[in-house]
């Protein structure tokens, strides 16, 4: 599910890559939440059980029963770590190919799992909602965050 979170974040080599200032806004918001891995994933699953159903270890189980498990924490940490890696590359034109490679790999891996464009959008909405309620959030941050999503979606959707 790493792909879903990555969508939320950084502009891959796209028509309007993030500037250094925009990347810093995204990084600043992400830094406020990145240590809440379990809560982030739980919020996404709570809002969209169809996303939870894509995870074989978690499909068909009550969120309250899995949220405290080691498997849940481990997977949430993997997702957040992946996002953090991509975010760390944002805002530097020389790292755009690396972002493109990461996002393309993510898209291809999740295409094989049957993840839909609608689920990408659901993830985007849930993650954005979580971050906007747990970090400093204004029009400038929202704009940078949305541009990052748009860039990621452009790459991911081209591989679905």
- 52-87 pLDDT per residue, tens: 999 999 999 999 999 999 999 999 999 999 889 888
Return mean pLDDT, the chain: 89
* pLDDT at residue 126, as a whole number: 96
Rounded CA-CA distance 9/12 in Å is 9
Mapping DSSP onto H, E and C, the string for 52-119 reads HCCCCCCCCCCHHHHCCCHHHHHHHHHHHHHHHHHHHHCCCHHHHHHHHHHHHHHHHHHHCCCCCHHH
Containing structural domain, residue 74: 2-157
Mean pLDDT by runs of 10 across the 160 residues of the chain is 46 66 97 97 97 94 96 95 89 92 92 90 94 97 92 87
Rounded CA-CA distance 24/118 in Å is 28
pTM: 0.86
Q: Structure tokens of 146?
A: 């949305």
User: Structurally, how many domains does the chain consist of?
Assistant: 1
Q: What CATH number does residue 149 fall under?
A: 1.10.490.10
Rounded CA-CA distance 145/126 in Å is 13
* pLDDT at residue 11, as a whole number: 39
Rounded CA-CA distance 8/10 in Å is 7
């Amino acid at each position: 599910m790493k792909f879903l979170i990555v969508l939320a974040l950084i502009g891959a080599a796209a028509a309007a890559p993030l500037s250094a200032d925009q990347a810093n806004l995204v990084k600043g918001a992400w830094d406020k939440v990145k240590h809440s891995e379990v809560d982030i994933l739980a919020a996404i699953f709570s809002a969209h059980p169809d996303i939870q159903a894509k995870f074989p270890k978690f499909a068909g189980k009550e969120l309250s029963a899995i949220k405290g498990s080691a498997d849940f924490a481990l997977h949430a940490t993997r997702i957040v770590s992946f996002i953090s890696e991509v975010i760390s590359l944002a805002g530097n034109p020389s790292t755009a190919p690396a972002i493109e490679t990461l996002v393309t790999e993510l898209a291809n891996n999740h295409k094989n799992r049957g993840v839909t464009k609608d689920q990408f959008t659901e993830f985007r909405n849930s993650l954005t909602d979580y971050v906007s309620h747990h970090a400093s959030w204004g029009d400038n941050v929202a704009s940078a965050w949305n541009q990052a999503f748009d860039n990621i979606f452009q790459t991911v959707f081209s591989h679905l």
